[in-house]
Amino acid sequence: MQTVTIGNVQITPVLDAAVLMNPLTFIPGHGEDVAREFAHQADERGLLPMAITTYLVRSEGKTLLVDSGLGARKRPGFPQGHLDDALAAVGVGPEEIDVVLNTHLHIDHVGWNTVPGEDGRPRIFFPNATFVFQQREWDFWMTPEYLADPRHPHLAECVQPVADAGRVTLHPDTETAFDTNITFIASPGHTPGHVAIGIASAGERALIVGDASHHPVHVQHPDWSPGIDLDPVLSARSREALLDRAIAEESIWAAGHWPFPGMGRILRLEGKRVFRAL
């Protein structure tokens, strides 16, 4: 997919990995409804296509990466990421990334912050980047307990090393500007400090929603929260607010787990929300 222009900002979706989702386990309570609605997309095992997409954003002369995918390490239950090759395919080297914006601190969003170095220790993959996290998200995950928890190896491997290198900027957990074009939008529920990235330039807008929505089924059913949301009631509220904001602001919608590239417009037609892919 080609670059999308939002005023003076360019957004290029970059695929780290295609993944498959079992609706029966992913969306508890509504899995069979999802399976029925999306049966036309299911493979022979009933699995639905999803993606792990990052978004390259060019704003004010800087090159930003929104989320950094699964990474080069093979994680249980996930394929290995290929963001290195995908960035090369769009002509961007890791040294060109000025800022990595992490919507939250899950394993499939911070993966390429580091790669295993030749000495076995994590090496920062984007040698010139600063890494921006939300304060609330940081405070929730970066505790001694979670850092030592074998279920969250990415915190020690992909997050702590960039902090140790002095590359981390913590952003307040409110609707605050990153630069003249980019705003962090608090959208808690999936994780406590989850943020969406709002882009506004020259009268045009986009919303990169992170894991506020994992699948297009949420357009009509924002309350069908995935089991991985830490607070499924709050996540549903954040999700619906972002969908309605996208309609009201006529924003381009970018959802990194929707089938690649996950970009389009949310419209209201005859009283119903619908998604029109770009």
- Please say which residue, 21 or 142, places its beta carbon nearer to Zn ion: 21
- Please say which residue, 109 or 273, places its beta carbon nearer to Zn ion: 109
Q: Which stretch binds Zn ion (CB under 5 A): 85-93, 104-112, 165-173, 261-269?
A: 104-112
- Please say which residue, 87 or 105, places its beta carbon nearer to Zn ion: 105
Residue 261: cis peptide before it, omega within 30 degrees of 0:
yes
- Please say which residue, 72 or 247, places its beta carbon nearer to Zn ion: 72
Q: Does 229 bind Zn ion (CB under 5 A)?
A: no
Q: How far is the CB of 103 from Zn ion (least distance, A)?
A: 8
Q: Please tell me the count of residues contacting Zn ion according to CB under 5 A.
A: 2
Q: How far is the CB of 260 from Zn ion (least distance, A)?
A: 14
Task: Give the 3-state secondary structure of 219-253.
Answer: HCCCCCCCCCCCCHHHHHHHHHHHHHHHHHHCCEE
Both tokens of 158, joined, read 């992909």
Q: How far is the CB of 257 from Zn ion (least distance, A)?
A: 6
- Please say which residue, 173 or 211, places its beta carbon nearer to Zn ion: 211
Q: Which stretch binds Zn ion (CB under 5 A): 83-91, 105-113, 123-131, 161-169?
A: 105-113
The C-alpha atoms of residue 87 and residue 91 are separated, in whole angstroms, by 6
Q: Does 173 bind Zn ion (CB under 5 A)?
A: no
- Please say which residue, 72 or 274, places its beta carbon nearer to Zn ion: 72
Candidates 108, 137, 173, 229; binder of Zn ion (CB under 5 A) is 108
According to DSSP, the residues that pair with 56 across neighbouring strands are 12, 65
Closest CA to 234 of 185, 173, 195, 189: 189
Q: Are 101 and 130 in contact (CB under 8 A)?
A: no
Region class of 98: left (phi > 0), else alpha (psi between -120 and 50), else beta:
alpha
Q: Which stretch binds Zn ion (CB under 5 A): 53-61, 100-108, 136-144, 269-277?
A: 100-108
The C-alpha atoms of residue 124 and residue 193 are separated, in whole angstroms, by 24
Both tokens of 121, joined, read 């220790």
Q: Does 211 bind Zn ion (CB under 5 A)?
A: yes
The C-alpha atoms of residue 215 and residue 236 are separated, in whole angstroms, by 13
Q: Does 137 bind Zn ion (CB under 5 A)?
A: no
Q: Which stretch binds Zn ion (CB under 5 A): 14-22, 70-78, 108-116, 242-250?
A: 108-116
Question: How many Cβ atoms from other residues are within 10 Å of residue 213's Cβ?
Answer: 28
Instruction: Output helix, strand, coil percentages for the chain, rounded to the nearest 5.
Output: 25, 30, 40
Positions that interact with Zn ion (CB under 5 A): 108, 211
